[in-house]
Chains A and B, each alone.
Chain A
Amino acid sequence: MSYLEYQVKYVPSGFRKLMYLNWPVVFLITAVSGFGFLMLYSVAGGSMDPWVTAQSQRFGLGLVVMMVMALIPIWFWRNMALVAYVVALLLLVAVEFVGVERNGSQRWIDLGPMDLQPSELMKISLVMLLAAYYDWLPLNKVSKPLWIIIPLIFIAAPAYLVLSQPDLGTTILLVTGGGAIMFLAGVHWAYFATVIGAGIALVTAVFQSRGTAWQILKDYQYRRIDTFIDPTQDPLGAGYHITQAKIALGSGGWTGRGFMQGTQSRLNFLPEKHTDFIFTTLAEEFGFLGAFGLLILYALIIIFCVMSAVTNKDRFASLVTMGVAVTFFLFFAVNMAMVMGLAPVVGVPLPLVSYGGSAMLVLMVAFGLVQSAHVHKPR
């Protein structure tokens, strides 16, 4: 059920489409990325290298990609959904065999000049496929068990592959994001109650399996969970990172310690300060005002996406927009909760701010879809 089925009064064409972009989202994305450049400059000790230059170039590239995608009609992307998903799934399978291993997990495929992280591709492909699936599926079949199993398989296949890399953070994002789209598409409440019940059972199983031969997670993941429950158990070992992150965050106070004045980050007490823990540096140097400001920017992106989705009568466009919004939300919510000691350290970057090529480009592609949906919404 698509765009052409509506009474279309006016369709922008050519470069006039640019006027119909969701400009608030563009500005918000740019503002958030600007925050990121500032923080990357700071954690590099006041230097453009090694991070700011590369990151800003990718952002520029990403902005162009987003614009180009926005110009392409949304139904094209719907038709591409299955292809994208299959390609991403195949790459995920390939990673199992030819992937590059770093820090104990096998996530990357070496493409010469840059490394490709297929799990990043999968995040967006899964959203697209599920949106297309529910766009295609008649409404009265949405809650039928047979038609529930199909999207579950769509979600479970990549989730299993990503979990085995292992990459707990992305797995959570895939499962939660996929579940969110199913919820949006109108799947009956009872299924979600069942899934939540099953989830609790799974968590129990995960903990019960610990130390046995069929242990589900790796030891380091168990230890991270332990230190989340009580980081003070081992303040110089496993809990060190989160303790230091909390100190950095808390010591920022109202207005922060000043740009490039954060002692926790400058003196290397913070781990991974240019990637997963970059928010702590921001919170330390710009204080509550800076940290809360960023949170507001993120929230506004979500709000504008939701508004766009709600006003869009096209089912695929609406579902994709919401799917991207949920994925984006999960990114920053999990990351912030993690560095604030509310969630286990699972290795989720702060979207648009953390240093990282694949993540930045995939996010821009995702927003390309959002823009395309917005531009081509039936008017």
Chain B
Amino acid sequence: MRRGPKETAEGARRLSRRAVLLGTAQMGVVAILGGRMATMQVEQADEFRMLAEENRINLGLIPPARGLIYDINGVVLADNEQHYTITMTREGAGDVDEVLARLSRLVAIDPEQLEKAREELRVRSSFVPVTVAERVSWEDISRVTVNAPALPGVVAELGRSRHYPQGPDMAHVVGYVGPVSDYDLSRIEDQDPLLQIPRFQIGKTMVENNLEQDLRGSAGTKRVEVNAAGRVMRELDRVEGLPGSDVQLTVDARLQNYIQARLSGESAAAIVLDVTNGDIKGIGSAPSYDPNLFVQGISVALWDELNEREVDPKLHRRPLAAKTVQGTYPPGSTFKMVTALAALEDGVVNADETVRCVGHSDVFDVRFHCWKRSGHGNMNLNESLKQSCDVYYYDISQRVGIDKIAAMGRKLGLGERHDLPMSAVRSGLMPDKAWKREARGEDWRVGDTVNASIGQGYVATSPLQLAVMTARIATGNAVKPRLVKSIGGVEQPSGAGESLGLNENNLRRIRRAMFDVSNNSRGTAYRSRIAEERFKMAGKTGTSQVRAIVRDENGRVITRNEDLPWNARDHALYVAYAPADNPKYAVAVVVEHGGGGSVAAAPIARDVLLQALYEGTPPLEAYPAAVRGTIANQQRQMEAMLRDIQPGRDTDQA
């Protein structure tokens, strides 16, 4: 189509005009784009840079190694064992169910745990590794590693878990750790981010729980760069945490092992105290349990068994209870030293004056019996303790009054919650007039004093308190029990204690009487004496009633313990110290429903003391000739139950 020059020029002009217009508009858009760039990259750069850093950097916690627990000789009581754990992340796995299915074809995983892991994977953030299997064998780990490409998000990790090499022996002292639970988190005011790590192990009871802050250490942190899929590309930096402090206990694992073995079969407690510094050398409670069972979370069935769900409550032996500090018992005749000492210190009673025991004593219109129905005859202080005459104490306690007796009891450590890093330590009860008015809203009666004078009625003591009482009588000092020798190498204060300010003559008379209890042929514990001259024992038996009078089907009063049902039998108690002339160890033994203290408790106390004094199995010569045959037999039987515990490294130099 032809057109003239004029039209051509007009078309070109219009085109140029519009081309410039369009070009200008385009430059306008370019300017908008450039402006947007400037806004984002210059003005908001810091904001976006931060978002980019948030994208790529994950902060991870490095759990510290938990402090170890040693006995006095460096024997390991709580250890960190290495083991393999299989963990998995949701974001890594993608299809969680598929990967779990593949994994369980390779490795045998407990279905219960698998279900737990599945739930955790659903609930937790997608990048949090969730434990799928624990304590995995090396073979299984190899199989997982070889098949890694088919198992996205699955990682085999070297983990640490708590192990208690002493098993049940130390359960009641060291306690155990377990995975931190929601309950724990709700209960404790602790902002430590470590607690947010799933299945982080914290102390649940006893030393593990009470010294948690020392044992735990502090978390390290590592910053890692992750890609969009959450995979860790590299570690940017890491700040190592502080491992927990090692703790050394005063307990001697070998002695403890012996105590647990000696107590086995009974529901009993025994505690050995070094009277010179208050160190607890042995603190056994039977029956016991294996704390290792708790570390990974205990099964419901086992938990029920330990709580004796299926057992008649009357026959409960409470394996989970540390009876040394958690059990309280009427001290029975072991309390007579307190009454006697209170009377002597007060001066209302002279050690040589006598009280006539006719087998009973009438207080107003109530008749209180002596354990010996026929009566002891004329009793002075020494004879009354030696033969454990009750009437003597009925008499003198009325002259001294309960408040002075209670004051003496407290002076000797009764009714006091001794400060030990153990759980649920009981304070027992040292009653007086004020207490009864306060707690019961009733006035104290003379009969209450009479009951208390022989450690019955309201008086309640733990085996630990009885041991402290014995140690204080033996030394005259305010001995305080000490369970922890050092934390992180720092020696804890000694429990030797200041003088109690008691009259030395009075103490000597009490000690002499306690010596006679064990070494005079008329003493209640004479049969359980120590023959070895260097290690002669001074002690006091106790038999505390746990019930009112029981009658048989014919209505007759049952007096023989063997005839009673187990839970109605008397508690057997014995407190002692040795060597008598230069006290080293105090011991207290309580055998629940064991019958008479002289029969059930004293022999245990003797064996335990000898074990402590000889630092191992004593020779038969240490025993009176008459019982050597029986003892030899007993030692043979126990041999199988004792483990060979070698002293470990010296933790002071560690």
Contact = CB atoms under 8 A, between A and B. Distances in A.
Interface stretch (A59-67, A118-126, A221-229, A298-306): A298-306
B418 to A, nearest CB: 58
A306 B20 contact: yes
A302 B27 contact: yes
Interface in A175-206: 180, 183-186
Contact of B225 (A136, A263, A337): A263
Interface in B45-63: 45, 47-49, 51-53, 55-56
B38 A292 contact: yes
A52 interface: no
Contacts of A306: 19-20, 22-23
A337 to B, nearest CB: 7
B48 A246 contact: yes
A8 B506 CA distance: 141
A264 B50 CA distance: 12
Interface size class of A (residues with CB under 8 A): 35 or more
Contact of A287 (B41, B51, B226, B228): B41
A95 interface: no
Contacts of B14: 139, 186
Interface string A296-329: 0011001100100110010100110010011001
Contacts of B15: 184-186, 309, 315, 318-319, 322
Of B1, B26, B47, most A-chain CB atoms within 10 Å? B26
B125 interface: no
B30 A247 contact: no
Contacts of A291: 37, 41
B225 A267 contact: yes
B535 to A, nearest CB: 74
Contact of A337 (B33, B38, B52): B33
Contact of A1 (B3, B19, B47): B3
A254 interface: yes
Contacts of B227: 266-269
B135 interface: no
Interface string B1-38: 11100011011101110111011001101101110111
Nearest to A326: B22
Given A253-B41, A322-B19, A138 B30 contact: no
Contacts of A180: 22
Nearest to B30: A299
A373 interface: no
B123 interface: no
The secondary-structure label for the interface of chain B is: helix
Contact of B30 (A1, A249, A253, A298): A298
B363 interface: no
Contact of B11 (A186, A246, A253, A267): A186
Contacts of A336: 33
Given A250-B49, A295-B30, A267 B56 contact: yes
A161 B52 CA distance: 41
Nearest to B21: A183
B52 A309 contact: no
A292 B34 contact: yes
Nearest to A315: B11
Contacts of B10: 139
A250 B1 contact: no
B549 interface: no
B641 interface: no
B40 interface: yes
Given A183-B18, A306-B23, A313-B12, A268 B228 contact: yes
A253 B18 contact: no
A283 B29 contact: no
B42 A263 contact: no
Contacts of B42: 253-254, 288
A342 interface: yes
Contacts of B56: 263-264, 267, 269
Contact of A184 (B19, B34, B36): B19
A51 B10 CA distance: 49
A244 B54 CA distance: 12
B225 A333 contact: no
Contacts of B3: 1, 138-139
A309 B26 CA distance: 15
A318 B48 contact: no
A350 interface: no
A319 B18 CA distance: 11
Interface in A254-309: 254, 263-264, 266-269, 283, 287-288, 291-292, 295, 298-299, 302-303, 306, 309
Interface in B32-90: 32-34, 36-38, 40-42, 44-45, 47-49, 51-53, 55-56
A252 interface: yes
A339 B227 CA distance: 20
A136 B55 contact: no
Query: Which 9 residue pairs are nearest across A and B when measured between Cβ atoms?
Result: A250-B48, A306-B23, A267-B227, A251-B52, A253-B45, A288-B41, A268-B228, A251-B48, A250-B40
Given A283-B37, A287-B41, 14 more contacts: A5-B8, A139-B10, A184-B15, A186-B14, A249-B48, A253-B45, A253-B49, A254-B42, A291-B37, A298-B30, A303-B27, A306-B22, A318-B16, A336-B33
8 contacts: A136-B1, A244-B55, A248-B48, A250-B40, A267-B56, A267-B226, A288-B42, A315-B11
